[in-house]
Every structure is written in structure tokens, then in C-alpha cells.
Amino acid sequence: MSGLEIKAVEPGSAAFAAGLAAGDRITAIGGRPVRDIIDYYFYLAVAEPELTVRRGEKEFNVRLAAEAGRPGLSFVSPFGRIRRCANRCLFCFVDQQPPGLRPSLCFKDDDYRLSFWEGNFVTLTNCTRRDIERIVAQRLSPLYVSVHTTNPELRARLMGNPRAAEIKAQLAALAAGGITLHTQVVLCPGLNDGAELERTVRDLASFFPAVRSVAVVPVGLTAHRAGLYPLRPVTPAAAAALIEDVTAWQREFRRRYGSRLVFAADEFYLLAGKAVPATKEYEGFPQLENGVGLVRRFRDAWKRVARRLPETTTPCRAVLVTGTLAAPVLRPVVARLNAVAGLEVTLVPVANRFFGTSVTVAGLLTGRDICAALATLFREGLRPELVVVPAAALKDGRLFLDDTTCAAVAQQVGCRVVAAAGPHELVAALGVKLARRSFRKE
């Protein structure tokens, strides 16, 4: 059914005053059909918009009060049917998941509307000419696009979809329409690296300033790849070589465009044992959610927190859980915390048995693996009163990927379990009160 079904109406809002109610369906605004939440806000941006509403079998029009840009409505399904991914990527992480995960983790979306609305990466393989026209007409910018390669034949092969070959024409149309693009390349050794990667990077750079960033991220491989294409992991040597290439491209692009444009994911630096770039070199962190600059942001935040740590605090024995990749980042943090009298913090890097030990990021840890790692330490005599887990591993602050809850982990390990997303949340969880903020330049 077309239109948007109203889930709730805020009391006292313009929609409330107009008599709208839960269950009503908005089918048009100003005579133009409403397909989703994007149409809704786009057409709503006029003085006193007129809404066509269906209530049961009846249809009527209501006019909202002036300046009702956010009239107080929420909707049952803001985007209607989400577009599924039509690709069969050789490196798809969803295809490598163990059985039994909740359905939402196995759903492959590839919807340009979610790219604009939530920052999801999309491939554009299911975008029609009319979709491109809509993106341009409604200024759905920026978009986040998974490119992987600009070689048409290779992209079609990598993504298992002949339409993938159209990527350069699609990017050109979006760029000509004034759409800002953030792009990514999932690096698969032996397939889209080396000369192919350089070709891709230079092709994307040719679309500057429409293409504002290119992130290179390593392919993620789990232990559940039976029957899948035999991909190779990125080695430390390959990571170091990639960093050298990215550094050289950044120097060139900064001279040519005034922007470094291409960025390597943090995982390459950690894998190669190299220092992550300085804050200014990330140019505002355009792809932070893609793992580009998270370590630098964490270290900058920790530096500010560390300056304000007290000499002593209320006693607390705690365990800090992380993935094996981030352990070198957190070791100096734990050492500094343990210099505060009263704190006894133990760092526990947890091997990922759920997805396989090649998966090393903290955000993919499960409750079962955390419990197993802690049980080993408890048998050795460790008895903490608090376990701090990475917030990135939880949905809505409570649920791990294996559907284990924080409460269940706490019950099994016999102490409090809290999640922390950064240095400030970490020290707060430990009960540490920071000194007053310094006004000197940091």
C-alpha cells in the first residue's frame, strides 16, 4: 500500500491540531504522491502544506499550520520496503556468518535512501535512471558508495552482477548533479589491489570535488567460508605497502586538489605496526564510521582525559575487554589507569571464536566469547568487581551479536558489566572523577 502509515502523533503538535491520528496514512502532499519519509520531508518544506490522508475507506485533505517542518509525526515503516542487495560479492561478510543469527543480521540491504539517511554504503547496482534523477532532484547528498574497483569487467566479477560495470557512468551522473560522494574500496589481495587499486583511486580522484573521500579497508574473512571464493587475508607486509601507496597518493592529491582524498583504514596501521596519522591528516574524519580514524580520535580523547586523572580514587578492580586488534592501543591506557591509586585494571583481549580468530575487531565480539575468556581468568584467580565491554559490540547498549545480553554476561561472570564507547565513558564506569577541565590549549 502506498503512502506512510502514522505510528504516533505528538500531543500539541501541528499534526495533532489538524486532527491526524495513529493508523492514518499520508498518501500525498500538495498533490504529489508520498513514497517514503524522504518524499514526506521534501514536500513538507512549504508554508501550510496540504496533506492527503486516508483513514479506513475515507480520504480527506488537511492543511498544517505554517512553519510545520516537523509536525510531530512518527511512522510505522518510514521507507516502506527496503531494497535488497542483488549482488553476489566474492567478499560479502554476510555470506560468511555462522548459522543461527537473528534475521536482521542476515538481511542484505542496498538502498540509496538509507545511504543518504543513515550513511549506509550502497553499490548502486539496483539504481535505475529514475532513481538517479530522484537523487539529484531531491538533493540526497551525501551518498556513500561501495566502489571496490572502477574496472568494469573486474567490478562485475567481484560483485557477481553485470550491472556493476556501470559504476563510472553512475558516478558521473551523480557528480554532474551536484551530489557529494564518499566512496570505499574493500581490498581483496590478488584481485583489486596493486595496479587495479591505483586505477580505481585515480578514477575516483578525477571526480573531485564530487568525490570527497576514498576509504580503503581490508577484506574481512571469517572461519565460515566453506564453498566460497578462496580469498586471501591482508598480510602485515601488504598493509605496510598499502600505507606507503596511500601516503604517496595523499601528497599528490593534496598538491593537486587541496585534499588528501584517499585514506587507509586503521586496521592497516595496526596490522603493519605503524603509527596512525595525526588528526589534521584525516581532514575532518569523513569516514569515521568506516574505521578510518577511530584510533586517532580515541587517542586524542584519551590524551585530554589522562591530563585530568586524579592521583587517587575509590578502589575498583576491573577488567577491560577488547578485540585482539585494539589491544596495543589500550595497553598504555591501562598502564596509566593503574598509576591511579585505587585502580586495578586488567586488559583482556578476547579471541573471536564465534566468527573465527581472523576477525579481530572489538565491534564483532560476542557475549559467549567474552564469558569464555573471563572464565579462564577467573580460574586463574582474577576476581574483578566490574567488566567493561566495548559499546560497539552491542545493539541498543544491551545485545551482542550472538543475542547474549549484558545482563546475561553479568550473571554468568558474577559482577557488573557496563559498556563504554570512549575514554570518558571508561573512566566514568571505573568511578573516577576527573579534575576540572584545563583552559589551556590542548
pTM flag (> 0.85): yes
CATH architecture assigned to 94-291:
Alpha-Beta Horseshoe (3.80)
Rounded distance between C-alpha atoms, residue 234 and residue 368, angstroms: 27
Burial class (CB in 10 A: 0-12, 13-18, 19+), 90: buried
* Helical pair 294-306 and 327-337, crossing angle rounded to 10 deg: 10
Going across the sheet that includes 121-122, the strands are 121-122, 143-146, 181-187, 211-218, 262-264
User: How far apart (Å, rounded) are the C-alpha atoms in residues 442 and 102?
Assistant: 44
Q: What is the pLDDT of residue 334?
A: 98
pLDDT at 69: 58
> What is the rounded distance in angstroms from the CA atom of residue 161 to the CA atom of residue 284?
34
Residue-level pLDDT, tens digit, the chain, 442 residues: 689 999 999 998 999 999 999 999 999 999 999 999 999 999 998 888 999 999 999 999 999 886 555 789 999 999 999 999 999 999 999 999 998 888 888 889 999 999 999 999 999 999 999 999 999 999 999 999 999 999 999 999 999 999 999 999 999 999 999 999 999 999 999 999 999 999 999 999 999 999 999 999 999 999 999 999 999 999 999 999 999 999 999 999 999 999 999 999 999 999 999 999 999 999 999 999 999 999 999 999 999 999 999 999 999 999 999 999 999 999 999 999 999 999 999 999 999 999 999 999 999 999 999 999 999 888 888 889 999 999 999 988 889 999 999 999 999 999 999 999 999 999 999 999 999 875 455 4
* HSE, side-chain direction, 13 A CA sphere, residue 172: 6
The whole-chain average pLDDT of the chain stands at 94
Q: Report the CATH fold assignment for 4-75.
A: Pdz3 Domain (2.30.42)
Instruction: Record the cell numbers describing residue 22, joined without a space.
Output: 495513529
Q: Domain locations in the chain? A: 4-75, 94-291, 299-429
The reported pLDDT for the residue numbered 442 is 47
Burial 318-328 (b: 16+ CB within 10 A, else e): bbbbbbbbbbe
Angle at 183 between CA 197 and CA 146, to 5 degrees: 80
Question: Does residue 106 contact residue 48 with C-beta atoms inside 8 Å?
Answer: no
Q: What single letter denotes the amino acid at residue 207? A: F
How far is residue 346's CA from residue 333's CA, in Å, rounded to a whole number? 11
CB count in 10 Å sphere of residue 267? 21
Measured CA to CA, the distance from residue 266 to residue 262 in angstroms comes to 13
Burial of 191 (0-12, 13-18, 19+ CB in 10 A): buried
C-alpha cell at 272: 603493519
Name beta bridge partners: 440: none
CATH fold, domain 299-429, is Rossmann fold (3.40.50)
Cell triple for 323: 578485540
**Positive/negative CA dihedral, 177, 178, 182, 185:** positive
